[in-house]
A = this chain, B = another copy of it.
Amino acid sequence: MLASKLYAPTLREMPSDADVISQQYMLRAGFIRKMSSGLYSFLPLAWRSIRKIEGIVREELDAAGAQEIMMPIIQPAEIWKESGRWNAYGAEMIRLHDRHDNEYCLGPTHEEMITTLVKNEINSYRQLPVNLYQIQNKYRDERRPRYGLMRSREFIMKDAYSFDADEAGLDIQYKLMYDAYSNIFARCGLTCKPVEADSGAIGGSNTHEFMAIAEAGEADIIHCTKCDYAANIEIGKPGIMKQTEEALKELEVVETPHANTIDAVAEMLSLPLEKTIKAVVFAIEDKVILAIVRGDHEVNEVAVQHAVDGNVEPEMATPEQLVRVGLTAGFISPVGLKQSEEFAIVVDESVMETFNVCGGANKPDAHYININPKRDFNVENIIVAPIRLITDEDVCPTCGGELAKSKGIEVGQVFKLGTKYSEALGATFLDQNGRPNPMVMGCYGIGVSRTLAAAIEQYHDENGIIWPRSIAPFEVVIVPINAKDEALMETSTTIYNELKSAGVDVLLDDRKDRAGVKFKDADLIGYPLRITVSKNTLESNEVELKVRKNGEAINTPIADVKAKVEELLETL
């Protein structure tokens, strides 16, 4: 392709709302354009890369025995009502009506639909296993779309669903997909870590997230520096932190005017944070949940949800909900409180091991000191559970080794769903004894557009993107220093044709711009390899090959260019 024909409009100024590197560079280099909040157009450069990612996904999934299909994006409400998720999905689901006033949604995921699809077709264990996938736009009406392609409202996803006769079959499929995912992300050039994760609203028991390690990631990961243990901190099980035993002092109320955060109280009373307890109040539907952790710990919302067997993710309680259960914001502790139908108290295990700590007195501008949970809480009437977030001060739950934290972009997830959807939607098969059984399902997602963004987050420098060769929009760019110079253009065109015939994905920058502009664009767009054709080197029948990744520049005889390019690309 010729750069003069390529539709890749670059921007001089960065849009003010580009909040991560991948978005900034993709906007500046003409990869994407924002059409509306969380809605992006992919221009030719980005689309070339997306199609390469899709190609890798297809090859690996086909090799793992999955088959590509395409289901509708528009899904009838009925199947979501059957599974019980029509309401559970809340405002994130985009809903619509047709002209006959039938209800539909734009699929955020396709468990209901695929289960409905296969349940009419698969009747016998002989037809199992089946693994079907599609690559398709998905829709989530994010409250605050951000981070460019990483959290948009319309995004490209590969979703796959497996159906097996039993758990053992599912285990095999899960392993196949786990391995396929490892291959896919490796082939895309990503540094990716599979971590244990929470199954969230989708249900199921066993799941791993594939995390592209990057500062811009929204997920916090904890991993062991000694063994293979790695988990989303949401799921990382913290140990119980014990405090040195002290004589129990008498519970006492102190005035703490305006000190409605635990930090303010600790400062006012000159207490270390671990000698305080803090309260976070959630709600799941109509139930208010008071969560208590030590002042130096953070609440794990997922653990809170599990502790109360919540169907949906907890949200922060509203002021009205606090009032309804008699809580005074900023001054809450479980002392003197009891659970009820509409009110749960969940206390972290480590809180129960504290002595003489400070917490809210359940009235304005006042705190208790010398709280001793085992003495002062209604211990028969609260839930004690590990609800704090694990930190790198904990030890590895598997081997006791030291833990480290990092940030990750979730680019893929594999789930063992079990029979949740097959039971809800009646997808049964007859086993070898002629008895009906629900199919055992797995589901497997890859964020295709997010993978594109994650690659940029991992591979860039101050000048632009540094594409892994496998997903670069073009593998090689040829830059004649001066496109008006016939000799340079002739050599460039010869090399271009030679590389093209050899199957190299190459762009010839035939634009009449100054060399500096073309070099800057090449760096910004991030082609793995640049071939510079200049008078200088041409005198000795050479051109310069420059590797974007490390800046290495090699003068190469024109006759050897093809061989050298192929050799270098192997390493990129």
On whether the beta carbons of A94 and B96 are closer than 8 Å, the reply is yes
- Find residues 58-81 in chain A having any chain B CB closer than 8 Å to their own CB: 65, 67-76
**Chain B contacts for A106, CB-based, 8 A:** 74, 96, 106
Q: Are A72 and B154 neighbours in the complex by a CB distance under 8 Å? A: yes
Q: Which residue on chain B has the smallest CB distance to residue A40?
A: B72
Known: A98-B141, A121-B9. A41 touches B91 (CB 8 A): no
Chain A binding site: helix, strand, loop or mixed by DSSP?
Answer: mixed
Q: Of B9, B91, B104, which is within 8 A of A99 by CB?
A: B91
- Residues A42 and B65 in contact, CB atoms below 8 Å apart: no
Is A550 close to B, CB under 8 A?
no
Residues of B within 8 A of A47 (CB): 68-70
Give bound CA distance, A33 to B117, whole Å: 8
Bound-state CA distance A39–B104 (Å) is 11
Q: Is A12 in the interface zone, CB < 8 Å from B?
A: no
A33 vs B113: C-alpha distance in the bound complex, in angstroms?
Answer: 11
Chain A, residues 99-122, CB within 8 Å of chain B (1/0): the string is 100101010000001001100111
A130 sits at the interface (CB 8 A): yes
A43 interfacial by beta-carbon distance below 8 Å = yes
Closest to A9 in B: B121
Nearest-Cβ distance from residue A486 to partner chain B, whole angstroms: 21
- Once A36-B76, A113-B35, A117-B33 are accepted as A-B contacts, the answer to whether A99 and B141 lie under 8 Å apart by CB is yes
Asked if B72 and A43 make an inter-chain contact with CB atoms under 8 angstroms apart, the answer reads no
Query: Would you call A95 an interface residue if the criterion is a C-beta within 8 Å of the partner chain's C-beta atoms?
Result: yes
Instruction: State the Cβ distance, A163 to closest chain B Cβ, in Å.
Output: 10
**How many residues from A make CB contacts under 8 Å with B?**
51
A106 to B94: give the CA distance in the assembly, Å: 12
Is A143 part of the binding interface, using a Cβ–Cβ cutoff of 8 Å?
A: yes
The answer to whether B94 and A67 have CB atoms under 8 Å apart is no
Complex: how many Å from CA A5 to CA B65? 8
Indicate if A137 sits at the interface (CB-CB under 8 A). Answer: yes
Chain B CB within 8 A of A529 CB: no
Structural contact, B41 and A69, CB atoms closer than 8 A: yes
Say how far A337's CB is from chain B's closest CB, in angstroms: 34
Is residue A221 contacting chain B, with contact meaning CB distance below 8 A? no
A44 proximal to B (CB < 8 A) = yes
Whether B68 lies near A35 (C-beta < 8 A) is: no
Is residue A6 within 8 Å, beta carbon to beta carbon, of the partner chain? yes
Which residues 121-148 in A have Cβ within 8 Å of B in the complex?
121-122, 130, 132, 137, 139, 141, 143
Q: Which residues of B contact A139 (CB under 8 A)?
A: 74
A43 to B41, CA, bound (A): 28
Q: Does A344 touch B at the CB level, under 8 Å? A: no
Tell me if B71 and A35 are in contact (CB < 8 A). Answer: yes
A540 to B70, CA, bound (A): 45
Q: Separation in Å of the A471 CB from the closest CB of chain B?
A: 16
A222 sits at the interface (CB 8 A): no
**A51-B141 Cα distance, complex, nearest whole Å:** 30
- Is A50 in the interface zone, CB < 8 Å from B? yes
Contact A42 B70 (CB under 8 A): yes
User: CB within 8 A of A95: which of B75, B91, B96?
Assistant: B96
The answer to whether residues A35 and B143 also contact, given A96-B95, A132-B7 and a CB cut-off of 8 A, is no
Interface centre among A40, A47, A72 (most CB of B within 10 A): A72
Q: Which residues of B contact A548 (CB under 8 A)?
A: none
- A sample of 11 inter-chain contacts (CB < 8 A) reads A9-B122, A36-B102, A42-B69, A43-B69, A44-B132, A47-B68, A73-B73, A73-B154, A74-B153, A91-B99, A98-B141
10 closest A-B pairs (Cβ-Cβ)? A9-B121, A39-B72, A96-B96, A42-B70, A44-B67, A41-B71, A36-B76, A91-B99, A99-B141, A72-B154
| Besides A39-B76, A91-B99, A96-B96, 20 other A-B contacts (C-beta < 8 A) | A5-B65, A5-B67, A7-B132, A9-B121, A35-B76, A35-B117, A36-B72, A39-B74, A41-B72, A42-B69, A43-B69, A44-B67, A44-B68, A47-B68, A48-B68, A74-B106, A94-B98, A95-B96, A96-B106, A99-B143
